[in-house]
Amino acid sequence: MDEQPKGTRPSISIWVWILGALAIVFGLWLWTSGQLNRPESASLQEVMTAVENGQVKTITVTGDNMDVEMEDGTIISTTKHPKDSLAELFEYYGIMAEQLEGVALTVKDQSMWNNLLTVVISIGPILLLIWIFSRGFSQMQAGGANNIFGFGRSKAKNLNDSDRPTVTFEDVAGVEESKLELAEVVQFLREPEKFVQVGARIPKGVLMVGPPGTGKTLLARAVAGEAGVPFFHISGSEFVEMFVGVGASRVRDLFDKAKQAAPAIVFVDEIDAVGRQRGAGLGGGHDEREQTLNQILVEMDGFDNETNVIVIAATNRPDILDPALMRPGRFDRKVFVDLPDVRGRELILKVHARGKPVSSEVSFKDIARLTAGFSGADLENLMNEAAIFAARRDKRTIGLLEFQDAFDRVLMGPERKSRVMSEEDKETVAYHEAGHAVVSFFLLHTDPVQKITIVPRGQAGGYVMDLPEERLTQSREFFLDQITMALGGRAAEEIFFERITTGASSDLQRATQMARAMIMDYGMSETLGLPTYGNSNSDPFLGRDFGGGRDYSEEAAEAIDEEVMGILDDCYERALEIIREHHDKMVLLADTLLNVETLDRTEFEKLMNQPGNGHVAEETLAEGSTASPPPDIDFDVAG
């Protein structure tokens, strides 16, 4: 590994480069200064004419050079023949002795050192540049460790015994299946004979696929901590530079090092940066990235059963990887690292709580239920924000209030205490959010309302947060109820204020996206039938303008628009009907929000279950129920 040990001083060659650069800069400065301060040049005839006319104050002779100071203060320079003396020059040009009475004559002897200094300043920087380049190329041929021309050398970090990650599989939670797959890879490296004896082939590569923040890199670090073998870590973007051939050279260098250190693991993070499908895009097909990918394919084909080098790669964009990279024999195993379920989130929270003084009142199980859709990185950020809130409040433990505030901050942004809302805006937001909450309460296929607030946060003037359940599938009724709830805020504004505001813009976007997904992706249309519309496999390299063309007719597009409009209109009418039917609940909830600003689930359900209209019977709900939004929508934004 060509890495300088921590705590050591820079090598002598580094100081040579530094001093050389300083010398070049100094020499250029001297040369430039000499050029800028150089007197104006004149002919010898012009100088003698000036002496004859009494315009010269001093003449200084240094070797062949004559510096002449004029009476007006300007300085000019000229040269004479080396064999000519001043007396001979004055006699030749007919200048009498009385004409020289006001002229101060000085003759300086030009020593050998002055001549040498002039030569050094003139050609020294050029010689130094020649020496630096010759030294650099000799180092490149010798493969020196400090070679700045070694573009083809791999930038992979070899984590040896001293700096290998201390992370183990015990530090990774919520991805148990992925851990089992990678634990077997570790066993391959530790006991290869066990598998070879029964004719099993050790996998050449493992591709970890999953959304951002789910722990792919952490799993790779855990493999490094468990395996106890050399671990080479590099990012896909570090292969490619602007010089042609550098990427392929770095790939060869990396795999040569790994083979020499076998058994070893090579981890390529974000492999999509170099492993994208070849021949895609608007440019030429023979670019540097494709050459690098070709070299990776060749190197992985060169592994045999006795090599004992396993490549682990991670990506969140498997759809753009080259098919040749994905085939068995290169990446034999694909490990899907998905978002954790409620049990996984609870375990992840407990891992990140290690070393933190969490109050006994905090239930990680309840927090895990509230954080559906959170990745491991999101949960780590949530825990950190809660700790920051506790420190800000000078508390010794992290309590439930800190987790609640951290959850709001992570989802919606910081509380905007400086934003002053007018009474009219505050009342509009209160009825808007009450509309969402009331409509949701009286629908069957919606999640329980967890929190309602009209406190501005981030871009929102207020929001309704629901507690999503873990679902693998969603029905048509679910989507229709979710759309109805999303339109509840706009319906409330129309009924109580007889006007609409911009607060419903995000609600309309969500409702439209869900309605289109029902028709175009899920085949839930009553008139268009089972076909799906829109090519989800459009080329990701061409961009939306070039790669997102429609694969259906203009008549189908019109039918889709009509169907989406029909769904939205029907759901909006349902929202209006529910709000009109439960008018008193709306007023009660909005007035309460105007007074206390925030309600939790218990307080909200207590208001809804007060004597009055009450909760409608399930039979009545079932008759008109339809469904609602995608599973990743957990809260509503208005403002």
DSSP 580-611: HHTHHHHHHHHHHHHHHSEEEHHHHHHHHTSS
- The Cα 71–Cα 52 span in angstroms is 13
Q: Tell whether the torsion through CA atoms of 81, 85, 90 and 94 is positive or negative.
A: negative
H helix intervals, 164-233? 176-190, 192-196, 216-227
Asked if residue 216 has pLDDT above 50, the reply is yes
- The Cα 587–Cα 438 span in angstroms is 10
73 or 445, higher pLDDT: 445
- The Cα 481–Cα 89 span in angstroms is 110
- Residue 534, classed as helix, strand or coil, is coil
| Mean pLDDT, all residues of the chain | 77
259 or 18, higher pLDDT: 259
CATH of 342-412, one of 1.10.3720.10, 1.10.8.60, 3.90.1570.10, 3.40.50.1360: 1.10.8.60
8 A C-beta contact, residue 591 and residue 610 = no
- The Cα 366–Cα 376 span in angstroms is 16
- The Cα 543–Cα 406 span in angstroms is 36
Residue whose tokens read 């090579």: 266
All CATH 3.30.720.210 domain ranges of the chain, comma separated, are: 37-111
Which range is least confidently modeled, 196-200, 446-450, 504-508?
Answer: 196-200
All CATH 3.40.50.300 domain ranges of the chain, comma separated, are: 169-278+287-336
What number does CATH give the domain 169-278+287-336?
A: 3.40.50.300
Q: Determine what percent of the chain falls in helix, strand and coil, rounding each to the nearest 5.
A: 50, 15, 35
Given the DSSP bridges, would you call strands 157-159 and 231-235 parallel, antiparallel or unpaired?
antiparallel
Which range is least confidently modeled, 299-303, 409-413, 497-501, 539-543?
Answer: 539-543
Residue at 539: amino acid letter = D
What percent of the chain has a predicted confidence (pLDDT) above 70? 74
Residue 110 confidence (pLDDT): 59
All CATH 1.20.58.760 domain ranges of the chain, comma separated, are: 423-536+553-609
- Residues in Cβ contact with 594 at an 8 Å cutoff, skipping those fewer than 6 apart: 426, 427, 430, 454
8 A C-beta contact, residue 436 and residue 493 = no
CATH of 37-111, one of 3.30.565.10, 3.30.830.10, 3.30.720.210, 3.30.70.100: 3.30.720.210
Asked if residue 334 has pLDDT above 80, the reply is yes
Which range is least confidently modeled, 92-101, 240-249, 509-518?
Answer: 240-249
Name the CA dihedral angle for 144, 146, 147, 150, rounded to a multiple of 10 degrees.
90
The H or E element that residue 16 is part of is: helix 12-37
- The Cα 108–Cα 62 span in angstroms is 5
Residue 489 confidence (pLDDT): 93
288 is catalytic: no
Residue whose tokens read 């190197």: 299
pLDDT in tens, 531-568: 888 765 545 444 444 445 567 788 888 889 999 999 99
**Looking at the DSSP assignment, which residues form a beta bridge with residue 259?**
none
Residue 482 confidence (pLDDT): 93
At residue 23, φ and ψ (nearest 5 deg) are -65, -40
Which range is least confidently modeled, 167-171, 204-208, 237-241, 372-376?
Answer: 237-241
- The Cα 511–Cα 499 span in angstroms is 20
**Looking at the DSSP assignment, which residues form a beta bridge with residue 465?**
451, 635
Residue 618 confidence (pLDDT): 37
Please choose, from the candidates 258, 330, 261, 265, the residue with its C-alpha nearest in 3D space to the C-alpha of residue 298: 330
- The Cα 569–Cα 387 span in angstroms is 46
Residue at 32: amino acid letter = T
5 or 281, higher pLDDT: 281
Topology (CATH) of 423-536+553-609: Methane Monooxygenase Hydroxylase; Chain G, domain 1 (1.20.58)
- Residue 312 burial (CB < 10 Å; 0-12/13-18/19+)? buried
Token couple for 67: 């510096």
Across residues 24-40, what is the average pLDDT?
A: 61
Residue at 156: amino acid letter = A
Residue 28 confidence (pLDDT): 64
When mean pLDDT is compared over 15-24, 146-155, 308-317, the highest value belongs to 308-317
pLDDT in tens, 76-118: 888 777 777 777 777 777 777 777 777 777 777 655 556 666 6
8 A C-beta contact, residue 206 and residue 213 = no
- Residues in Cβ contact with 599 at an 8 Å cutoff, skipping those fewer than 6 apart: 451, 452, 453, 589, 592, 593, 607
Asked if residue 503 has pLDDT above 80, the reply is yes
8 A C-beta contact, residue 457 and residue 487 = no
Q: How far apart are the first and last CA of the chain?
A: 56
Residue 244 confidence (pLDDT): 61
At residue 453, φ and ψ (nearest 5 deg) are -150, 150
pLDDT in tens, 622-633: 333 333 333 333
- The Cα 359–Cα 343 span in angstroms is 20
Across residues 350-360, what is the average pLDDT?
A: 90
When mean pLDDT is compared over 66-80, 94-108, 330-344, 403-417, the highest value belongs to 330-344
Rg (CA), the chain: 39
> Annotated catalytic residue: which of 346, 402, 433, 493?
433
